[in-house]
Amino acid sequence: MSLSTNNHSRYAIGVDLGGTKIAAVLLARSGAVIAHEQIATGAHLGAGEVTTRIAAMVNRLCRDLGDSVAGVGIGSPGQVDSDHGVVYQASNLAWDEVELARDVQAGLECAMPVWLQKDANAEALGEYLFGAARGCENFVYLGLGTGLGCGIMADGRLITGHSWGAGELGHLVLDPDGYPCACGGYGCAETVVSGRGVINVARDYLQRGQFSTGLMDADLSSSSDLVSAARAGDPLALAVIDRCATWLGILLANCAATLNPERIVIGGGFGRTTFDLLIPGAKAEMKRRTHSVSHNQLDIVPSALRSSAVGAACIVWQGLDQSKN
């Protein structure tokens, strides 16, 4: 995948829209992060406030740069129609339908194109161009954050599916009688394999009193509290991480068996901070559940991107390349 040769497109702005935070970067064509910013999403305030926050971040990053900024790329959760810039069914944002590209563009101080892609697809693109999947034509990106996203690259091309819904592993049902999911279902993968998911499991264990622990329900306001407790040797926290690793291993087995990737890249805020804790157990579970042909030459590696918004910026150059063809 080549980068645009437009002489003016020295920079691109990428925005990673998450359930709890919005990250944005000003990215050079070399992949260097020139500037970055992060704020709370404020999803509870409505889609209008979120789009206003995104536009304000973009305006701050591109101020005084003029036409040297080629455009804006946004990675969003939900079912994303990249052709029309619309987000559907973003359960972690409580959105049914938002014309995100149009609404953000309306708030920009400088006229520039805005491209939209599913967040995990954007991250996969970033890993392919500048991260842990450089030179790898067939890989899967798993983003473990507030929820669980998946991006698939096959023969150097993003797989988006007939109605932009390919790779929705976060809503693959692992346990039909499991925890309720924001999508309205039960037992989806992201209810146990995500930052929010491990809190579900921890509170369940805490209520049952199955493990000795120094944690209280009030301590479980975020997954970072749980991860810190696990690193300190807390029995309940370690049991939760072990359970999460088992479920992640089942997901890895499904990816290996159905897609036969060369590499699986683990990203997302929760995925990055727990990689060393989760992957040994997850690998063991994956190998137990798949034929050796599926995993013998499979590498599982952490994300190598400095910011989750780098991939979103890469959408700009992909969009420019496609518009020239």
Give residue-wise pLDDT tens across range 42-98.
999 999 999 999 999 999 999 888 789 999 999 999 899 999 999 998 988 999 999
Give tens-digit pLDDT for 148-197. 999 999 999 999 998 888 999 999 999 999 999 988 999 999 999 999 99
Judge contact between 264 and 252, C-beta under 8 A. Answer: yes
Residue ranges and CATH numbers for the domains of the chain are: 11-125+307-324 (3.30.420.40), 135-302 (3.30.420.40)
* The model's pTM: 0.90
Q: Quick one: tokens of 201?
A: 């499991």
User: Is the pLDDT score of 217 beyond 90?
Assistant: no
pLDDT at 230: 95
First-residue to last-residue Cα distance in the chain: 13
